[in-house]
Structure 1
Amino acid sequence: MSDAATNLPPGAQLLGREWLGFDESGHALIRFQGQPSFTNRHGTIQGGFLAAMLDSATEICALAAVSPDLTVVTKSLDTRFLKPATIGPITARAQVVERTERDVIVQAHLVDAEGIIVADATARLRILAKR
């Protein structure tokens, strides 16, 4: 699965999304770039941007698990903000935890440059035929 900048949707480009592949335990790894323009009044990454990163990561993980003639759309994203996230690289680690013919559930968490988990989420995605 390639994530060349020219093929990325605008939202993924804004988040600086980079597909890193799978780790030894089968988790999808996706890196994002926390930008100064993403910060809140406290100087940390605003939660909406973290949720967008988790949504993007869970979707790309689900896409990696379905055949190329299918796509996925997020039905729900249950997100928890655990620690303040600072500007810089933020890496998502995502894994499919359940799949049926119509739906897939993906869990993911975001880790900052110091290795601290700053947020996590469970996404429920619908599997659809590509148009």
Structure 2
Amino acid sequence: MTKPFETRSNITRLLGIEFISSDPEAGTIELAYHPEQRMTNPRGDVQGGVLAALLDNAMARALATANEDKIVASTVDMNVSFLRPVKPGRVIGIGRVIRQGRTICFLEAELFDVAGTLLARGTSTAIPVPIPGT
């Protein structure tokens, strides 16, 4: 993976994202996240908006990976299904490009706990936008 993944995105740094692997030809990426206690609701579960941001990031990173880090996803629609409560700690995100056209893309992502249990799933429709300076 290229250095821009680690340094270009402020949200990547804020969410504490760790790169695991990618397959640019398949349009997939695997990332690790580490939601913290300060990101929880009163029940102690990671707040849904944080999980949605993690899913959105995995989908955007999958699109960027499939395009040599020269394209960013501008999300126009996103659907999230929260399947299980998520506690602070390591979460694995897998993002995929389902279909990419010149003006629209279809993306999906899933979040898993370290045991491999599916926690949340998201899909999005996005516009592929060139990253400035690439």
Q: TM-score, normalised by structure 1?
A: 0.87
Structure 1: give runs of 5+ residues left out of the alignment: none
Structure 1 residue 101: Cα displacement: 1.1
Q: CA 1:48/1:68 → structure 2, altered by over 3 Å: closer, same or farther?
A: closer
Question: 2:36 aligns to what?
Answer: 35
Q: CA 1:3/1:15 → structure 2, altered by over 3 Å: closer, same or farther?
A: farther
Separation (CA, whole Å) in 2 of partners of 1:116 and 1:3 = 30
| 1:34-55 alpha-carbon deviations (Å, 9 max, x no partner) | 1011111111101000000001
What is the CA RMSD across the aligned residues, in angstroms? 2.0
Q: Is the 8 A contact 1:88 1:113 kept in 2?
A: no
Separation (CA, whole Å) in 1 of partners of 2:69 and 2:30 = 20
Match status 1:17 vs 2:17: yes
Separation (CA, whole Å) in 2 of partners of 1:4 and 1:87 = 27
Q: TM-score, normalised by structure 2?
A: 0.85
Question: 1:95 aligns to what?
Answer: 96
Structure 1 residue 96: Cα displacement: 1.0
For residue 34 of structure 2, give the secondary structure of its aligned residue in structure 1.
strand
Structure 1 residue 106: Cα displacement: 1.1
Question: 2:131 aligns to what?
Answer: 130
Q: Is the 8 A contact 2:7 2:13 kept in 1?
A: no
Matches within 5 A, 1:71-90: 71-90=72-91
Question: 1:109 aligns to what?
Answer: 110
Instruction: Report the count of equivalent residues.
Output: 129
Structure 2: give runs of 5+ residues left out of the alignment: none
Question: 2:55 aligns to what?
Answer: 54
Q: CA 1:72/1:41 → structure 2, altered by over 3 Å: closer, same or farther?
A: same
Separation (CA, whole Å) in 2 of partners of 1:15 and 1:68 = 19
Q: Is the 8 A contact 1:86 1:112 kept in 2?
A: no
Q: CA 1:11/1:68 → structure 2, altered by over 3 Å: closer, same or farther?
A: closer
